[in-house]
């Protein structure tokens, strides 16, 4: 009996240790990957492996322009939802005229970057993981390596650059659409006009608030890309493995986004 219990405990500690070591290794891999991306961006031309514009543009089209319709729909919906909830809760103490402040701040500082990040993680982070995973099991990554073409420079850097440019752009668009949609509900409810609402918003939202949201979306862009790449690059076990790692990449990317968001707000806002 005693031996059995000891064995279970040892197995548990063994698993825990392996799990922790794997986690630390993954963080290390992520850091090394970011470092290698920066290296290729800075030194690629000197090493005769420049990062080319065409694949960056192709990725930007896919990540950014392709996500425009869904970002528009969801940020508009969330703007209206925030307006309804804001007016409802402020009415409790007769302060519904201040709803614009709450909606403007929460959209620009929080909801636009968060929703855009989650959408892009689901759309493009998963696609990146699946693409790299399939390339890996097809030996396409090996083929690049033995050709003397760095897979990081050729596959990861374009995605990272495109993501870091397009995610803040999408966030800015989500800001505009969300605020506009909120205005469509707020203006008639308060018996005001869209013009007056717009004036109020522009006087309330400071540059600082916009930058807060955009800076977060820049961090989210790095997170989505790196999580997607790491999961794609560690695919083993055929098509099933690709599916598993794609799911994992979406879950990890969204978790990373939400947790990083909280840490960022905690460090910047207090």
Partner 1 sequence: MTRRSPKFITNSVEVVNLNTHFGDRQILHDVSLEVRKGEIMVIMGGSGSGKTTLLNHLLGLLSPSSGTVRILDHDLGKLSPMERQLLRTRTGVAFQSGALFSSMSIGDNIALPLREHTGLDPTTIGIMTRLKLEVVSLAGFEDLKPAELSGGMIKRAALARAIVMDPELLFCDEPSAGLDPVVAASIDDLILRLRDAMGMSIVVVTHDLDSTFKIADRICVLDKGRVLALDTVEAIRASTDIRIQNLLNRRTEEAEPDPDAYLRRLLGDSSNQPDGIRRT
Q: Where does this chain bind partner 1 (CB under 8 A)? A: 47-49, 131, 134-135, 138-140, 142-143, 145-150, 154
CB of 100 to partner 1, least distance (A): 47
Instruction: Select 142 or 199, whichever has its Cβ closest to partner 1.
Output: 142
- Residues in CB range of 56: below 8 A, 6 or more apart: 158, 161, 162
Instruction: Select 131 or 252, whichever has its Cβ closest to partner 1.
Output: 131
Instruction: Select 20 or 58, whichever has its Cβ closest to partner 1.
Output: 58
Instruction: Select 194 or 239, whichever has its Cβ closest to partner 1.
Output: 239
Task: Answer for the pair 226, 155: CB distance below 8 angstroms, yes or no.
Answer: no
CB of 227 to partner 1, least distance (A): 22
- Residues in CB range of 97: below 8 A, 6 or more apart: 190
CB of 125 to partner 1, least distance (A): 18
- Residues in CB range of 54: below 8 A, 6 or more apart: none
Task: Answer for the pair 264, 216: CB distance below 8 angstroms, yes or no.
Answer: yes
Cβ neighbours around 68 below 10 Å, total: 15
Cβ neighbours around 139 below 10 Å, total: 11
CB of 151 to partner 1, least distance (A): 11
Q: Which of 93, 110, 132 is nearest to 212 (CA)?
A: 110
CB of 209 to partner 1, least distance (A): 40
Instruction: Select 129 or 254, whichever has its Cβ closest to partner 1.
Output: 129
């Amino acid at each position: 009996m005693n031996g059995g219990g000891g064995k279970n405990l040892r197995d548990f500690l063994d698993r825990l240790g392996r799990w922790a070591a794997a986690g630390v290794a993954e963080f290390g891999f992520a850091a090394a990957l970011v470092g290698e991306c920066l290296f290729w961006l800075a030194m690629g031309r000197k090493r005769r492996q420049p990062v080319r514009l065409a694949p960056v543009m192709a990725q930007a089209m896919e990540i950014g322009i392709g996500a425009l319709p869904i970002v528009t729909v969801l940020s508009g919906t969330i703007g209206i939802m925030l307006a309804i909830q804001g007016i409802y809760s402020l009415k409790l103490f007769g302060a519904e005229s201040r709803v614009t402040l709450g909606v403007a701040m929460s959209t620009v500082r929080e909801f636009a970057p968060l929703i855009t990040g989650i959408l892009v993680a689901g759309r493009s982070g998963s696609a990146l993981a699946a693409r790299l995973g399939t390339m890996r099991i097809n030996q396409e990554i090996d083929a690049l390596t033995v050709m003397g073409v760095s897979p990081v420079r050729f596959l990861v850097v374009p995605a990272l650059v495109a993501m870091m440019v397009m995610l803040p752009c999408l966030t800015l668009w989500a800001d505009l659409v969300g605020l506009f949609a909120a205005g469509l509900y707020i203006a008639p409810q308060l018996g005001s006009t869209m013009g007056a609402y717009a004036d109020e918003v522009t006087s309330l939202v400071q540059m600082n608030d916009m930058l807060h949201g955009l800076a977060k979306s820049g961090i989210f862009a790095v997170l989505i890309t790196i999580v997607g790449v790491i999961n794609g690059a560690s695919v083993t076990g055929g098509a099933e493995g690709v599916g598993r790692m794609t799911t994992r990449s979406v879950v990890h990317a969204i978790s990373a986004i939400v947790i990083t968001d909280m840490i960022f707000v905690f460090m910047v806002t207090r």
